[in-house]
Amino acid sequence: MTKYEEFLIEKGLFITAILSIIVILLIIGFIFKEGLPAMESYGFLNFIFGMDWSPSDGQYGVFTMIIGSIGITLLSLLFAVPLSLLCAIFLAEIAPKTMKRILKPVIETLAGIPSVVYGFFGLIILVPFMRVQFGGTGFSMLTASLILTVMILPTIISISEDALKSVPHEYKEASLALGATHWQTIKNVLFPAAIPGIITAIILGMGRAVGETLAVIMVAGNVTQIPNSIFDPVRALTSNIALEMGYATGLHYNALFATGIILFIMIIILLVIANYFHYKKKVVIGGGYL
Amino acid sequence: MDSKYIIGIIVALIIVVGAYLAFAGGSGEQTTIQVAGSTSVQPVAEKLAQAYMEKNPNVKINVQGGGSSVGITSTQQGQADIGMSSKELKADEKAGLKEYLIGNDGIVIAVNTANPVSDLTTDQVKDIFSGKITSWKDVGGSEAKINVITREDGSGTRNAFEEIIMGKDTKIIKTAIVQSSTEAVAQAVKGDPNAIGFISLASLSSDVKALQINGAAPSEQTVLDGSYKVQRPFLFLTKGDATGTVKDFIDFCLSPEGQNIVKSEKVVPAK
């Protein structure tokens, strides 16, 4: 009877484990089923490299939005990565206990704020501020990236802090024993050893930035154009889907799913790059690695 | 082993009861009315349907969006019993359809409260939104660039604005900022002294300044007497004359009770 129970539990665990895979396969299947017709009838290259998105005239080119998504994401990483890595180093190595006790919950709260609140804050405070400071309308790639920066900070900080903390203590002791200063130890020993984890942190942050929709809709301006500068409004791929899903029928509807396919492919590429670096940069010691 | 049997029986019971509940709704003497079309009319229609279903529990009304054109074609093809349209029908669209006007909605051209301009003609509005006029100075304001704010493609308010103001051949300028809701447009206009946007009269607040168009300020009164030009009808469409339950529902919408609901949604009643 115990054997029978063992069998049941094993299979039960297997089913729960495979459930997530089934769900993701179903979603992928659905997106491709709905999106591919649009790509076929409009032409794959026309769809990706088309500059004109105007569903009422039957124009479905998403190139401006690919640029928009990439631009917003890269710009926010440019702000967020240095900030959050320094913050993580501070938290893991330098901060006194009491300070840590305050900082940690604050950063976690930052991650818990709903994105619509960030978006509304951006629309009410940041957009008028940017207009006064830099002219234009205030809706811009830069405004969106600034909001996203704050949104992805907690992700990158907490994961890279964990990575720094999980570097074996012996490394630090050995480095300090050899006469290196604390900063030298951080820079030359701890940081390089934690690199795979830090890259994972950055990629997860990047994933959140690419996928963020609501906050971006509210502050990016959603204009389908290639931005001339970071002060120009842009539209992200996610915003495009959310903006028009409510009205879309027929080919327009399929084109929005096709936008989802492009988004999906972008995320896959990011994940592949991340895994590559994670694997390549790992520090091998003895039989295992960090 | 006993407990396993009990669990099995409970699961079986849940499935049977669940299936019964799921299918029971479909049986019995129930009539279903399918309503589809304009997303602008949809909220009003939903409220009307809700009130009607409370009074007539054996009628089920499904209200779906899709846009005015979907409302027109699906009524013509018989997929919907009632189509919703927030625009006047063209001659070729009218074929075989009967129109019922349930209300009128004004579209307000809104600017920042600090903007000195308070009156524009429809032509000026057209030139501003098409990008021909780019400075407030050209329409009697201060020397500043006009920031045009529009709604997303497919929005009912945008469609109506395009039809009434822009006409067939002119398009809203491509570099116009796109905001995803009436509220977002109002906030954007509130925050930018040089912005111009359009919102539904129903959601006009003191946050923004409503422009007079051709000398008429938007209000329930001016929409009703027709002196405010930027307005659109909220129409129910049926294929031929409405009959049976569909007719009863439309009669309810046009009754004083129904028109009160229309009014409570801040749409100008038809009567």
pLDDT recorded at residue B26: 47
- Of A71-75, B188-192, B202-206, the range with the highest mean pLDDT is A71-75
DSSP label at residue A53:
E
What integer pLDDT is reported at residue A63 of this predicted model? 94
3-state DSSP call for residue B268? strand
pLDDT in tens, A246-273: 777 778 889 999 999 999 998 898 888 8
**Across the interface, do B177 and A221 touch by the CB < 8 Å criterion?**
yes
**Residue found by looking up tokens 């997860």 in the block:** A204
Of B75, B70, B96, B107, the C-alpha closest to B232 is B107
Decide if B72 touches A, using CB distance below 8 A.
no
Q: Is residue B177 very low, low, confident or very high in pLDDT (cuts 50, 70, 90)? A: very high
Mean pLDDT, range B26-49, rounded to an integer:
82
Residues from chain B that touch A128, judged by Cβ atoms under 8 A, are 191-192
Q: Where is pLDDT greater, at A68 or B64?
A: A68
CB B154 to CB A56 under 8 A?
yes
Stretch B159-173: mean pLDDT: 87
Q: pLDDT tens digits, residue range A168-178?
A: 888 899 999 99
**CA nearest neighbour of B259 among B220, B219, B203, B201:** B220
Give the nearest partner residue to B184 out of A137, A218, A246, using CB atoms. A218
How does residue A288 score in pLDDT terms, banded at 50, 70 and 90? Answer: very low
CATH number of this structure's domain A44-276: 1.10.3720.10
The torsion angles phi and psi of A17, rounded to 5 degrees, stand at: -65, -40
CA B150 → CA A55, A255, B161, distances in Å?
Answer: 15, 22, 10
Supply the ipTM of this predicted assembly: 0.77
Which of B70, B178, B195 lies at the smallest CB-CB distance from A222? B178
- Beta bridge partners of residue A59, listed in sequence order: A54
Nearest CA distance, A68 vs chain B (angstrom): 14
Contact B60, B31 (CB under 8 A): yes
**Which has more pLDDT, A137 or A157?**
A157
Which of B35, B46, B69, B41 has its CA nearest to residue B234? B41
Per DSSP (E only), the strands in chain B are 31-37, 59-66, 82-85, 97-111, 119-120, 147-151, 177-179, 195-200, 209-210, 212-213, 231-239, 268-269
Contact status, residue B58 vs residue B31, Cβ threshold 8 Å: yes
pLDDT > 50? residue A287: no
Give the span between the Cα atoms of A273 and A237, in whole angstroms.
21
Name the residue among B87, B125, B123, B107 with its Cα closest to residue B230.
Answer: B107
CA dihedral for A198, A199, A200, A206, sign (positive or negative): positive
Q: Measured between CB atoms, does A251 come within 8 Å of chain B? A: no
Q: Do A123 and B70 touch (CB under 8 A)?
A: no
Q: How high is the mean pLDDT of chain A? A: 89
**Residue B24: pLDDT band by 50, 70, 90 thresholds?**
low
Per-residue pLDDT, A160 = 93
- Per-residue pLDDT at A147 exceeds 70: yes
SS3 B204: coil
Mean pLDDT computed over A224-229: 90
Nearest residue to B119 (alpha-carbon basis) of B201, B211, B194, B229: B211
Task: With a cut of 70, say whether residue A280 has pLDDT above it.
Answer: yes
- Is a pLDDT exceeding 80 seen at residue A29? yes
∠ CA A212-A267-A60, nearest 5°, is 75
> How high is the pLDDT of residue B29?
67
Residue B135 CB: number of other CB atoms within 10 A?
A: 14
* A123 closest CB neighbour out of B155, B178, B187: B187
Sorting pLDDT into bands at 50, 70 and 90, what band is B18?
A: low
Mean pLDDT of all residues in A29-51: 91
Which DSSP state fits B4?
A: H
One-letter-per-residue 3-state SS of A59-119: EECCHHHHHHHHHHHHHHHHHHHHHHHHHHHHHHHHCCHHHHHHHHHHHHHHHHCCHHHHH
Nearest CA to CA, how far is B219 from chain A (Å)? 27
Average pLDDT estimate for A136-158: 93
pLDDT given for residue B202 in this prediction: 79
Indicate yes or no: CB of A252 within 8 angstroms of CB of B67.
Answer: no
User: What residues in B contact A221, CB-CB < 8 Å?
Assistant: 177-178
Neighbours of B202 (CB within 10 A): 16
Q: Which stretch of A55-59, A140-144, A282-286, B161-165 has the lowest confidence by average pLDDT?
A: A282-286
Testing the interface with A: which of B171, B180, B181, B196 to mutate, by most A Cβ within 10 A?
B180
- A94-141 pLDDT per residue, tens: 999 999 999 989 998 988 999 999 999 999 999 999 998 988 888 999
pLDDT over threshold 60, residue B25? no
What's the whole-number mean pLDDT along residues B40-47?
Answer: 88
> For B208-233, what is each residue's pLDDT tens digit?
999 999 989 998 888 888 889 888 88
CB–CB contact B154 A244 (8 Å): yes
Å between A239 CA and nearest CA of chain B = 9
The pLDDT tens digits for A55-86 are 878 889 999 999 999 999 999 999 999 999 99
Neighbours of A41 (CB within 10 A): 12
Mutate to test the interface with A, among B177, B179, B189 (most CBs of A within 10 A): B177
| Of B39, B31, B29, residue with least CA distance to B243 | B31
pLDDT tens, B89-122?
A: 877 788 888 999 999 988 999 999 999 999 999 9
The confidence score (pLDDT) of residue A92 equals 92
CA-nearest residue to B148 within chain A is A137
Q: Where are the alpha helices (DSSP H) in chain A?
A: 2-42, 44-49, 63-89, 97-112, 115-121, 127-134, 141-165, 169-177, 182-185, 191-211, 214-220, 237-244, 250-280
Query: What pLDDT does A164 receive?
Result: 92
Instruction: Pick B133 or A270 by higher pLDDT.
Output: B133
Q: What local confidence, expressed as pLDDT, does residue B152 receive? A: 87
B252 phi, psi to nearest 5 deg: -60, -40
DSSP 8-state assignment for residue B228: S
Kind of pairing between the strands at A53-54 and A59-60? antiparallel
Q: Tell me whether residues A247 and B66 touch, CB distance under 8 A.
A: yes
Scan for tokens 């960090």, then name that residue: A290
Residue B21: predicted pLDDT: 62
Mutate to test the interface with B, among A247, A251, A252, A259 (most CBs of B within 10 A): A247
Which string of DSSP letters, residue by residue, matches B112-142? -TT-S--EE-HHHHHHHHHTS--BGGGGTS-
In this prediction the pTM is: 0.78
User: Does B184 contact A244 at a Cβ distance shorter than 8 Å?
Assistant: no
| Token pair recorded at residue B188 | 């954007």
Query: How far is it, in rounded angstroms, from Cα B271 to Cα B86?
Result: 17
Window 216-245 of A: residues touching B by CB (8 A cutoff) are: 217-218, 221-225, 233, 235, 242-244
The single-letter code of the amino acid at B98 is K
Whether A51 has a pLDDT exceeding 70, the answer reads yes
> Strand pairing of B97-111 and B209-210?
antiparallel
Q: Do A221 and B154 touch (CB under 8 A)?
A: no
State the pLDDT at residue B27.
46
CA–CA separation, B33 and B52 (whole Å): 11
- Closest chain A residue to B4 measured between Cα atoms? A5
Q: Do B176 and A223 touch (CB under 8 A)?
A: yes
Q: Do A223 and B67 touch (CB under 8 A)?
A: no
The minimal CB distance from B177 to the residues A233, A243, A247 is found for A233
Q: Least CA distance to A218: which residue of chain B?
A: B179
Is B64 at the interface with chain A, CB within 8 A?
Answer: no
Neighboring chain A residues of B154 at a CB cutoff of 8 Å: 55-56, 244, 246-248, 252
Interface test mutation site (partner B, options A137, A218, A231, A259, max chain B beta carbons within 10 A): A137
Q: If you average pLDDT over every residue of chain B, what do you get?
A: 86
Selected residue with higher pLDDT from A49 and A280: A49
Matching residue, tokens 């027109």: B72
